[in-house]
Every structure is written in structure tokens, then in C-alpha cells.
Amino acid sequence: MLHRAGAANRLILLDAAREDESLLEERGHRAIGVVYHPDRERYGNYVPTVLPRRYDAFLFLDETQALRPLHEVQPREEGEVPETYPSGV
């Protein structure tokens, strides 16, 4: 919605928005921490959200880039479960 509106990166403080009817509409929101499944993009990676009831503030970044490691990643010891299991390297 914010991308289509042409919004630049911004921090939206939602305390004053609790009375704004347009923001009280339930919409799908990609949650932080969900395990991404491309085959369930529309219905498995999003949670129903009313923004001012879930958050105090909302940070919108229109475009991001992948992280780069600060140092070389060392192989894990055999049998150790990666932190990002089941999708980690």
C-alpha cells in the first residue's frame, strides 16, 4: 500500500492514528520471523494486522539489499543445528 502510494522510506508513529478509520482496516502484513515459503506467499507469509492495534510505530523501507557478512563464515561442527534452521546455510 505504501509503495503504491509513492511513499519514501519513513517512520510512521501510530499513537495518533488509533482513531484514523483508514488505518483501522485489517490487512495482510508480512511478519518478522516467519519462515518464508514461496508456494504460500499470499496466505502463509502474512498475518492479519490492524497496524495501530499491533504496533506503536511502523518503519517502512521501500527497498532493501541483502546483508553481507562482516567476516568469513566458518563451517559448523557436524551435528550442530544452525540458528536459522530449517532454511539456514
Taking the model in full, what pTM does it have? 0.53
Residues in Cβ contact with 25 at an 8 Å cutoff, skipping those fewer than 6 apart: 50
- Is 86 a member of any domain? no
Domain count, the chain: 1
Cα 37 to Cα 62: distance, rounded to the nearest angstrom: 21
For residue 47, the enclosing domain spans: 10-60
**Residue 84: left if φ>0, alpha if ψ -120 to 50, beta else—which one?**
alpha
pLDDT tens sequence across 38-80? 777 766 677 888 989 888 998 888 888 888 888 887 766 776 6
Give backbone dihedrals phi and psi of 50, rounded to 5 degrees, phi first: -110, 105
